Homo-oligomer: A and B are copies of this chain.
């Protein structure tokens, strides 16, 4: 056996164990008995310890030195193993397990604090998580990953991205987004809200139809209920979840489509990459580009919503709006609101930009955790013109910081930007897409994305992958052009 083969065999088991850890997470959020929570904490800690030990195994350095890969995929696999090895080696084992232990408890505390609108209950935990993640970020930065702690954390979710490049991109986007929002909210015609009753079973049946429409492979996946929708797993076991709110079917339908985007990316990766470092999505930004293009550019397109309108009428009792075009406008309705996950395509990015600035300040220490609520509320009023009425509509709304995901938020807008570029290229290559979407058939889009992007897994670096798929380097303009055209038409601007 060559050194390369040895390393890849070792890595294969690590990847398989990592899939197992992910499956345990799925289990915890969907089917685990409530009384099993404490024991599950012990189980998760045990497998995380195994994974950390494997990722920092001293043999990896020797293997990396001596391995001679035979092709580009092999070279990229070594690059990714090297990156993982060096990143994990920066974090001392006690810090790694302290982060795992703290964040596993923190999520429950955050949920409780949010339910009770009690910032004080969450604050000590937030301080602790922030301090641990700052320490990790500083160690990573000292180890050569990023200019400072924030860049080092961001690099975990979007390798190659920096806070300054993200900030420059956001600065370029903000004026056009804000201007578009002003024109939309000031328009004389405003879409109606959705009214009607959408039974639980009908929502789930239609959610399945929508996943079908995009070519989600049920033979290698399944749909379950979860409090917070997510997708999970790689290769041949990629599961999605959704939630059902009876008077708000879009919640179920579009969260399903979002997770279908993530899942089709994973399902579309070439089987040869399975259980190798190339066998999963290359970055969170690229992953979000897939969930967002399914959910928005395709799922909220005029053509697809026309099909959806017919399906909703077939599944549910009479509802308003009563015409397909009014329904399209309703799906894309822009309204002031507190909650990021409920935001329209325009304002969603403004929510992200605000979080990006706040979390950078938290990580560099210029903003203390105790000052976050005030800073959030001031910034929200400035950006959205609304006074936050309670913490669950403000700084307690997102789970991310409780589980230590500092540096994650910007990947959402990066994903939107990537989706904008991909969508432009897709429409050029598949001009007949709308006639297909209007029949509830989105597979031609999945096929195009599979060919250009999905199949490669982590073979190329994120920005290279997008450039290669689109024929040009990613910029925010295609997204902004698309938003102005779409909402200009809907709102008759």
* Residues of chain A whose beta carbon lies under 8 Å from any beta carbon of chain B: 12-14, 16-17, 19-20, 23-24, 27, 31-40, 42-43, 45-47, 49-50, 217-222, 224, 235-237, 239, 274-275
A–B pairs, 20, beta carbons within 8 Å: A12-B46, A13-B50, A14-B46, A16-B42, A16-B45, A16-B46, A17-B46, A17-B47, A19-B43, A20-B24, A20-B43, A31-B31, A33-B219, A33-B237, A34-B219, A36-B220, A36-B236, A36-B237, A37-B236, A39-B235
* B46 in contact with A236 (CB, 8 Å): no
Contact residue among B39, B46, B239 (Cβ-Cβ distance under 8 Å from A274):
B39
Q: How far is the CA of A16 from the CA of B100 in the complex (A)?
A: 14
Contact residue among B27, B38, B45, B219 (Cβ-Cβ distance under 8 Å from A27):
B27
Taking the nearest CB of chain B, how far is it from the CB of A397, in angstroms? 27
- Given the interface pairs A17-B46, A46-B13, the reply to whether A222 lies near B24 with Cβ below 8 Å is no
**Closest Cβ neighbor of A21 among chain B residues:** B20
Contact residue among B35, B42, B49, B236 (Cβ-Cβ distance under 8 Å from A219):
B35
Q: Which residues of B contact A13 (CB under 8 A)?
A: 45-46, 49-50
Contact residue among B16, B23, B42 (Cβ-Cβ distance under 8 Å from A275):
B42
Q: Which residues of B contact A20 (CB under 8 A)?
A: 20, 24, 43, 46-47
Q: Which residues of B contact A235 (CB under 8 A)?
A: 36, 39
Contact residue among B43, B46, B236 (Cβ-Cβ distance under 8 Å from A35):
B236
* B33 in contact with A16 (CB, 8 Å): no
* B222 in contact with A39 (CB, 8 Å): no
Q: How far is the CA of A272 from the CA of B238 in the complex (A)?
A: 37
Contact residue among B12, B31, B49, B222 (Cβ-Cβ distance under 8 Å from A33):
B222
Q: How far is the CA of A239 from the CA of B36 in the complex (A)?
A: 11
Taking the nearest CB of chain B, how far is it from the CB of A17, in angstroms? 5
**Closest Cβ neighbor of A274 among chain B residues:** B39
Q: Which residues of B contact A275 (CB under 8 A)?
A: 39, 42
Q: How far is the CA of A39 from the CA of B239 in the complex (A)?
A: 14
Q: How far is the CA of A84 from the CA of B175 in the complex (A)?
A: 66
Taking the nearest CB of chain B, how far is it from the CB of A426, in angstroms? 27
Q: How far is the CA of A36 from the CA of B218 in the complex (A)?
A: 11
Q: Which residues of B contact A219 (CB under 8 A)?
A: 33-35
**Closest Cβ neighbor of A17 among chain B residues:** B46
Q: Which residues of B contact A37 (CB under 8 A)?
A: 236
Q: Which residues of B contact A217 (CB under 8 A)?
A: 35
Taking the nearest CB of chain B, how far is it from the CB of A267, in angstroms? 10
* A220 in contact with B19 (CB, 8 Å): no
Q: Which residues of B contact A50 (CB under 8 A)?
A: 13, 17, 50
Q: Which residues of B contact A34 (CB under 8 A)?
A: 219
Of A14, A42, A218, chain B has the most CB atoms within 10 Å of the CB of A42
- Given the interface pairs A50-B50, A218-B33, the reply to whether A16 lies near B38 with Cβ below 8 Å is no
Q: Which residues of B contact A42 (CB under 8 A)?
A: 12, 16, 275
Q: Which residues of B contact A12 (CB under 8 A)?
A: 42, 46
Q: Which residues of B contact A46 (CB under 8 A)?
A: 12-14, 16-17, 20
Q: Which residues of B contact A31 (CB under 8 A)?
A: 31, 222, 224
Q: How far is the CA of A318 from the CA of B221 in the complex (A)?
A: 41
Q: Which residues of B contact A274 (CB under 8 A)?
A: 39
Of A31, A34, A43, A222, chain B has the most CB atoms within 10 Å of the CB of A43
- Given the interface pairs A23-B24, A221-B33, the reply to whether A237 lies near B16 with Cβ below 8 Å is no
Q: Which residues of B contact A32 (CB under 8 A)?
A: 237
Taking the nearest CB of chain B, how far is it from the CB of A231, in angstroms? 13
Taking the nearest CB of chain B, how far is it from the CB of A490, in angstroms? 38
Q: Which 6 A-B pairs have the closest CB atoms?
A: A16-B46, A36-B237, A35-B220, A35-B219, A13-B46, A39-B236
Q: Which residues of B contact A239 (CB under 8 A)?
A: 33
Q: Which residues of B contact A14 (CB under 8 A)?
A: 46
* A236 in contact with B16 (CB, 8 Å): no
Q: How far is the CA of A40 from the CA of B234 in the complex (A)?
A: 11
Q: Which residues of B contact A27 (CB under 8 A)?
A: 23, 27
